[in-house]
Amino acid sequence: MPNYRGHLLGGAIAYGLSLAVPLRFTYFPCAGVLSIAGEFLACLIGSLAPDIDIHSKGRQILNKIIFVGLVLSSFQKSTAALLIFIGVFLFAQNVGHRQMTHHPAFIIIVPYCLGVVLNQHITFLPEVSLNLYCSFVLGALSHILLDNIPKRYLPSIFAAADEGAFNLSRIKRRVEAILGKRWKK
């Protein structure tokens, strides 16, 4: 079972694979680089979302996103959106780990309902919000898939992400050990 780095990597791979599907751009048109960046970010957020029910790095990131949502909805004077973000935060505080948030039906239905309500109060283009929803769900489903695959079957790249191998100081120490000399700062 990967930690938040492994889940982020899984979300990134899932989004990359979704770009390779030929029919993807037929049914979910893309408005450009900004749209792809938003979809990628939604997929990464979705890859952390099922772990909103535990105290983890992923939850800290999601709490910051909820805070930004609270600020934006208060600037737009959207009471419904404000209540939704508060509800999501309170839900995350009270639900048990790997119960509702790790169920595929929950992952598909709840973000859709939240998106419909938020879309009525915070103005987005419908096509963009559908793309963001699909990317979020894709990331969340990748999270559930990674949690259900035994660790011994995961590729070594996920194990490297779990160990923090993408930490630059660790990479620097490994390179220094191979080269046998210190890098100058």
Q: What is the pLDDT of residues 88-118, one digit of tens each?
A: 888 877 776 777 788 888 888 888 887 777 7
What is the pLDDT at residue 185? Answer: 46
Helix axes 104-121, 79-94, angle to 10 degrees: 160
Report the alpha-carbon distance of residue 166 to residue 14 in Å, rounded.
Answer: 19
Helices (H) and strands (E) in the chain, counts: 9, 0
Provide, rounded to the nearest whole percent, the portion of the chain with pLDDT above 70. Answer: 68
User: Quick one: CA dihedral 135, 138, 144, 150, positive or negative?
Assistant: negative
The dihedrals phi and psi of 136, each to the nearest 5 degrees, come to -60, -50
Q: Which two tokens stand for residue 20?
A: 């390779």
- Residue 140 Cα to chain centre, angstroms: 7
Number of C-beta neighbours around residue 173 at 10 A: 12
What is the pLDDT at residue 140? Answer: 92
> What pLDDT, in 10s, does the model give residues 173-185?
666 666 665 544 4
Residue type at 22 in one-letter notation? P
Instruction: Taking residues 76-98, report their average pLDDT.
Output: 77
What is the pLDDT at residue 153? Answer: 67
Instruction: Taking residues 117-140, report their average pLDDT.
Output: 74
33 against 86, higher pLDDT = 86
> What pLDDT, in 10s, does the model give residues 28-66?
666 677 778 888 998 998 998 888 877 777 678 778 888
Q: Which among 103, 101, 104 is positioned nearest to 88, based on CA atoms? A: 101
Whole-number average pLDDT of the chain = 75
Contact of 164 with 170, CB cutoff 8 Å: yes
Number of C-beta neighbours around residue 12 at 10 A: 16
Q: What is the pTM of this model?
A: 0.69
Q: Is 175 left (phi over 0), alpha (psi -120 to 50) or beta?
A: alpha
Q: Give the Cα-Cα-Cα angle 90, 139, 32 (nearest 5 degrees).
A: 110
Q: How confident is the model at residue 147 (pLDDT cuts 50, 70, 90)?
A: confident
Q: Is the pLDDT of residue 162 over 80?
A: no
Find all residues with CB under 8 Å of 7, minimum gap 6, and list them: 47, 48, 51, 58, 142, 143, 146
